[in-house]
Amino acid sequence: MARRKNPPKRNYYRNSGARRRARRIGRLKFALKAVFGLLVLAATSFMFIFGYDYLTQCEYFEARQIGISGNDRLSSGEILSRANLSPGVNILSLNLFVVRKRLLADPWIAEAEVSRELPDSVQIRIKERRPLAILDLGRKFLLDETGEIFKELEGEPLTALPLVAGLEFTDLHLAGKDGSPVFDAVLEVLHLSRRPDSALPIESIRRIDVDRQLGLTLHAFNRHSVIKIGFSDYPVKYDRLRLVMRFLNRDRRLAEFSTIDLNQEGRVVITPAQLNSPEEEHEEV
């Protein structure tokens, strides 16, 4: 009977040593690659930092011209001061977003756009708010043409604007809330008076009194003239007022009127300024 041969034994010691060497070599290669990658990253970062510093300090990109457009009320100096800009600033170092935010912080600036034009120019374009009226809410505030309060009146020479009295804070467009019908009525009258062909130009209106029962009363032309316009149908009432004003210009007796009442449909009541005794009747047209 033949003896069964045993399989040759593996040299586990020798094989495990080779594997350890292979692992060490692999780790060494990985470490060298990582170090090389870090060196490349550091060199690239240094190049970017050096390039940024060079470009943002280079005289070639210094602002030799700062153009400003859209300003009427604000002077160019005031706008530059608000934007914290001056000639000679490196245009590549400017954070245009921050400059725009500085401009919009001014209550008179509704919109702002800032751009750089290589190699040495900065352009500022703004849109100023146009005040429409002064609101008397216990303290006086400026109302713009969009119906937004944008600042408190602080001694600005704006006496030509009509003063609106009788509104409350709850009537206004605030925090995304729609204004009350009374506030919308005031805005409609103001915008009608802003039209070039308006029968009652806005510069002729001195005051608008708001009564929640009787509507709007306009004090216009001189300190004695009152126009009662009530609520609703304002375009129609303005057309009637245009006809009335033509009639008054032809009749010298009524040229200086005390009151024009437009509240009654199809009827206009005019009170002459010289009417003193109760026996005298109102003029109707």
Asked if residue 266 is part of any domain, the answer here is: yes
Q: What is the C-alpha separation between 217 and 154, in angstroms, rounded? A: 26
Q: What is the pLDDT of residue 44?
A: 66
Q: What is the pLDDT of residue 31?
A: 72
Q: What is the C-alpha separation between 87 and 206, in angstroms, rounded? A: 44
Q: In this structure, are 163 and 257 located in the same domain?
A: yes
Asked if residue 36 is part of any domain, the answer here is: no
Residue-level pLDDT, tens digit, the chain, 285 residues: 555 555 555 554 555 667 777 777 777 777 777 777 776 776 666 565 545 554 455 676 788 889 999 999 999 999 999 999 988 888 888 889 999 999 999 999 999 999 988 888 899 999 999 999 999 999 999 999 988 999 998 877 766 899 999 999 888 877 667 788 999 999 999 999 999 989 899 999 999 999 999 999 999 987 678 999 999 899 999 999 998 888 887 766 656 788 899 988 778 888 877 654 444 445 555
- Asked which of 75, 96, 128 is the last residue of a domain, the reply is 128
Identify the domain containing residue 96 by its residue range: 59-128
Domain count, the chain: 2
Q: In this structure, are 88 and 115 located in the same domain?
A: yes
**Count, residues in the chain:** 285
Q: In this structure, are 76 and 119 located in the same domain?
A: yes
